[in-house]
Chains A and B, each alone.
Chain A
Amino acid sequence: MAYTEEELKKELETKEYEYGFYTDIESDTFPPGLNEEVVIAISKKKEEPEWMTLWRLEAYKYWKEMKEPDWANVHYEKPDLQAISYYSAPNSKPKYDSLDEVDPELLDTFKKLGISVDEQKKLAGVAVDIVMDSVSVATTFKKTLAEKGIIFCSISEAIKEHPELVKKYLGLVVPQRDNYYAALNSAVFSDGSFCYIPKGVRCPMELSTYFRINQAGTGQFERTLVVAEPGSYVSYLEGCTAPSRDENQLHAAVVELVAMDDAEIKYSTVQNWYPGNKEGKGGVFNFVTKRGLCEKNAKISWTQVETGSAVTWKYPSCILKGDNSIGEFYSIAVTNNFQQADTGTKMVHLGKNTRSTIISKGISAGKSQNSYRGLVQVNSRADNARNFSQCDSLLMGNECGAHTFPYIEAKNKTAMIEHEATTSKIGEDQIFYCNQRGINTEKAIALIVNGFSKEVLNKLPMEFAVEAQKLLEISLEGSVG
């Protein structure tokens, strides 16, 4: 007989008593390790309703049966998931008292990126004694958004305040059992963002996690859910160009986008986690599941600039379910030193007249490995599906590698699919030309790389694009060889 939810509930009730973890949840940081009690405790700690606890437990059950995948073209020492503490209370105490205590290297980067002093303080975790600008800005923003009926808050808040919405959409696009890390995230996600755009509303500003006040402690298992009702539009920014020094080695986030009929979601990411030092020691593992669902005439556009993390493993995908829906993917992935990236996209064409575009630019330098892995699938009922893919790789130095693994599956005779990939290096004549005009080699390379990535950079929202351009420069610093 199948194991019902009722039984599970009963079992859990008795378990609570058995282990008496009520005392346990009083502590601020859980001891390392993952089991059912930890999942329940996280849920309790966050004062979640029962359905959410059960949802997490279901995910945990799936996760336990799964094995860590190893098909990606990356090599790393698998993190010991039992050695991680899955909950620690948000740290409200500032890390430093003044900017002088902050790592000068970090400040140097801030300066190059052109980040204001106040922002620098916030990013580095310095106590700010004056009224912080961004807080007041955020409050004003919140008011504007509320007027339009837009909900933009942390996912924990949403679970409490808007359970009907979360219940309806959470796990719709990325089910708990989707993959190993998505299941893990579903079981233990600490926090994240929730965004809901009502019918016919055009979100008046770029939504960014940066402006959300209670951002602290979103932690390593972030969960993002963006729902765009029919006819609405939203542009969402995630991440930050500023380097993040995070002590958590493993990051397994899940992002779900739902674009209803005629809705449009633009999701931009700039990822600049700590990539490890020059010898390849340390650095963040970034294993993310990102997926969007397009209903009729909907459009989802992913733009990403990946420069950080020791190991990146992510495939922002589009399920083009509705007729005439559009999926786009624009990506720049830069790897330097010992970084490894296996990234790309999946475009699943289910509806008629669906279109998708993939532009991927990989730049590898140092001893890094950069892979593009993508799937374009046209199902038998997806008449007139159209795809264009272009993956270009740029190699700098002969110790790095560039790889392309495109999967193209067509089951419909009206499908039009084009895939192109090239690999090249920066031409000596190009550099010579720049040198001739008084531009030094390092600047010349930055110039050429920017030109190479232009198609993608252009897709970023204005504020981001400028910073991203500089970020590329910084990431490739010292790779001239």
Chain B
Amino acid sequence: MAFENDVDVEHSIHDVRMAAMKNFETKGFPSKKEEGWKYTSLNSLQKVDFSIFPKEENALEYKDVKKYFLHEIDTYKIVFIDGIYSSYLSETTHDGVDICLMSSALTKPMYKQVIDVYFNKIASKDDSLTSLNTAFSREGAYIYIPKNKMPKKPIEIVHFATGNEASLMLQPRNLIVVEENAELQVIERHQSLTANEVLTNSVTEIFAAKSAIVDYYKIQNDNATANLIDNTYIDQKDRSLVKIHSFCFGGKLTRNNLNFYQNGEHIDSTMKGVTILGDKQHVDHHTLVHHKQPNCESHQDYKGIYGENSTGVFNGKIIVDKIAQKTDAFQQNNNILISDRATINSKPQLEIFADDVKCSHGCTIGQLDEDALFYLQTRGIPEKEARALLMYAFANNVLASVRIPELKTRINKLIAKKLGVNLGFDI
């Protein structure tokens, strides 16, 4: 296999890769027959002959891609172009914290200790797509925040696909370790720059130690030929707080697998998402919160607006183990269908084995309030704007918890743009 020539077979990771490869070979791509993929078909992707490694290195000018960064504020940047690290666009650091590359973390002895403890520890060894990533990934972000530290600025992880290949498959692999009482803010984005097809199969492992705080924002506003399968695994210890926001506006097929494992007490896990789709877009949000210890909380709030021929899927699963008493788990999924050809499939799931818990979920599918719409129109707001305003309000409470003001403004603009209106006020 060509890939084997490319890697260091002596490395300890090699065995992990081989095992993952074997798992993928036996399982293959998931099919619609599997419960977890009931509503999402990967058939169209399997027909495309994706190249796994780009033949040549590509460069980009900062001015051409500036708009994809949160350029209003200063950030650390880990940038990849067609899966290859771009030192020119990046800004990494080793000053007290490690914000660098997966490839160097895997090869340099100084990181060996961390890699041995964390790499591929929480990621599923059973899931075929995660295995595919484990087997073939060779680059990604490596972030290590030691005890009581906090990076001076947020970190942006950006993946560009230049389209120099007719169809490209990317396998980024991120490892994020936040030690006790440390804090971190990450913004992740995948961006394809041409109409050539891209499939990204990303795996991120996040470890939040005691009292750690992690704020993770996923911006998924790629163009119509980009596909993303995002697998994120989060391991939380006592009193840690992990918040993940997913903003899905673009892409052809997006699948988000968020898996939270609460391995401690008094943990708070929060997942929020805004999804606004049109055209033939398909987004599948799959969340899992496994409450393994007592006195923990989890909150899920997903809002979706689906137009044209788009399809939205929400599958949220909460598992409460027998010993996880006093769990407070809440899950909400609200959807608005604005087209007759759009589809929503929602499956909020609870599996509860403890009796002293507070678990609830709610799911709604409905329309905009006609009375509210009428009210706005009587105040001289045109129908289109009034609709947009109501939809904006619908999605807004998810935005309230975004802690980077510039990012909030950016998301607001993206929402307004996606809804196709000028809201007439600066949001």
Interface set of A (CB-CB < 8 Å, partner B): 71, 378, 380, 393, 395-425
Partner of B356 from A398, A406, A407, A410 at Cβ < 8 Å: A398
Task: Give the one of A393, A416, A419 with max B CB within 10 A.
Answer: A419
Which residues from chain B contact A395 at a C-beta distance below 8 Å? 352, 354-355, 357
Which residues from chain B contact A415 at a C-beta distance below 8 Å? 337, 365-366
Contact A416-B355, Cβ < 8 Å, known A403-B350, A404-B349, A423-B360:
no
Residue B422 is within 8 A (CB to CB) of chain A in the complex: no
How far is it, in angstroms, between the C-alpha of A393 and the C-alpha of B322 when the chains are bound?
A: 16
Which residues from chain A contact B358 at a C-beta distance below 8 Å? 423-424
Which residues from chain A contact B357 at a C-beta distance below 8 Å? 395, 423-425
Whether B337 contacts A412 by the Cβ 8 Å rule is yes
How far is it, in angstroms, between the C-alpha of A424 and the C-alpha of B352 when the chains are bound?
A: 10
How far is it, in angstroms, between the C-alpha of A411 and the C-alpha of B348 when the chains are bound?
A: 18
How far is it, in angstroms, between the C-alpha of A190 and the C-alpha of B420 when the chains are bound?
A: 63
- The size of the chain B interface, using a CB distance under 8 A, is 35
- Shortest CB distance B288–A (Å): 14
18 contacts between A and B (CB under 8 A): A393-B352, A395-B354, A398-B356, A400-B353, A404-B351, A404-B361, A406-B346, A406-B348, A408-B344, A411-B342, A413-B337, A416-B365, A417-B365, A418-B363, A419-B348, A419-B363, A420-B361, A423-B352
Partner of B344 from A398, A404, A409 at Cβ < 8 Å: A409
- Shortest CB distance A390–B (Å): 10
Whether B347 contacts A407 by the Cβ 8 Å rule is yes
Across the A-B interface, give the 8 residue pairs with the lowest CB-CB distance, nearest first.
A395-B355, A413-B337, A417-B365, A419-B363, A408-B346, A423-B359, A404-B350, A422-B360
Task: Give the one of B345, B355, B364 with max A CB within 10 A.
Answer: B355
Whether B347 contacts A406 by the Cβ 8 Å rule is yes
Which residues from chain B contact A412 at a C-beta distance below 8 Å? 337, 340
> In residues 343-388 of chain B, which contact A (Cβ within 8 Å)?
343-367
Interface set of B (CB-CB < 8 Å, partner A): 35, 322, 325, 335, 337-367
Whether A414 contacts B353 by the Cβ 8 Å rule is no
How far is it, in angstroms, between the C-alpha of A452 and the C-alpha of B136 when the chains are bound?
A: 54
- Shortest CB distance A91–B (Å): 43
Whether A417 contacts B364 by the Cβ 8 Å rule is yes
Partner of B351 from A380, A403, A407 at Cβ < 8 Å: A403
Which residue of A has the minimal Cβ distance to B363? A419
Task: Give the one of A71, A413, A416, A417 with max B CB within 10 A.
Answer: A413
How far is it, in angstroms, between the C-alpha of A22 and the C-alpha of B367 when the chains are bound?
A: 66
Whether B355 contacts A421 by the Cβ 8 Å rule is no
Partner of B347 from A400, A405, A417 at Cβ < 8 Å: A405
Contact A417-B363, Cβ < 8 Å, known A380-B341, A398-B322, A410-B344:
yes
How far is it, in angstroms, between the C-alpha of A396 and the C-alpha of B355 when the chains are bound?
A: 6
- The A-B contact count (CB < 8 A) is 115
Which residues from chain A contact B354 at a C-beta distance below 8 Å? 395, 398
How far is it, in angstroms, between the C-alpha of A419 and the C-alpha of B342 when the chains are bound?
A: 20
Which residues from chain A contact B338 at a C-beta distance below 8 Å? 413
Whether A421 contacts B360 by the Cβ 8 Å rule is yes
Whether B362 contacts A414 by the Cβ 8 Å rule is no
Which residues from chain A contact B342 at a C-beta distance below 8 Å? 411, 413
Which residues from chain B contact A407 at a C-beta distance below 8 Å? 345-347
Which residues from chain B contact A399 at a C-beta distance below 8 Å? 322
- Shortest CB distance A108–B (Å): 29
Contact A408-B355, Cβ < 8 Å, known A415-B337, A421-B348, A422-B360:
no
How far is it, in angstroms, between the C-alpha of A397 and the C-alpha of B362 when the chains are bound?
A: 25
How far is it, in angstroms, between the C-alpha of A408 and the C-alpha of B344 when the chains are bound?
A: 8
Which residue of B has the minimal Cβ distance to A372? B350
Contact A402-B322, Cβ < 8 Å, known A380-B341, A410-B365:
no
Whether B353 contacts A411 by the Cβ 8 Å rule is no
Which residue of B has the minimal Cβ distance to A414? B367
Which residues from chain A contact B351 at a C-beta distance below 8 Å? 401, 403-404
Task: Give the one of B325, B335, B343, B353 with max A CB within 10 A.
Answer: B353
Which residue of B has the minimal Cβ distance to A73? B351
Which residue of A has the minimal Cβ distance to B357? A423
Which residues from chain B contact A410 at a C-beta distance below 8 Å? 335, 337, 343-346, 365
How far is it, in angstroms, between the C-alpha of A71 and the C-alpha of B33 when the chains are bound?
A: 11
How far is it, in angstroms, between the C-alpha of A412 and the C-alpha of B235 when the chains are bound?
A: 39
Whether B340 contacts A420 by the Cβ 8 Å rule is no
- Shortest CB distance B248–A (Å): 18
- Shortest CB distance B303–A (Å): 15
How far is it, in angstroms, between the C-alpha of A461 and the C-alpha of B130 when the chains are bound?
A: 54
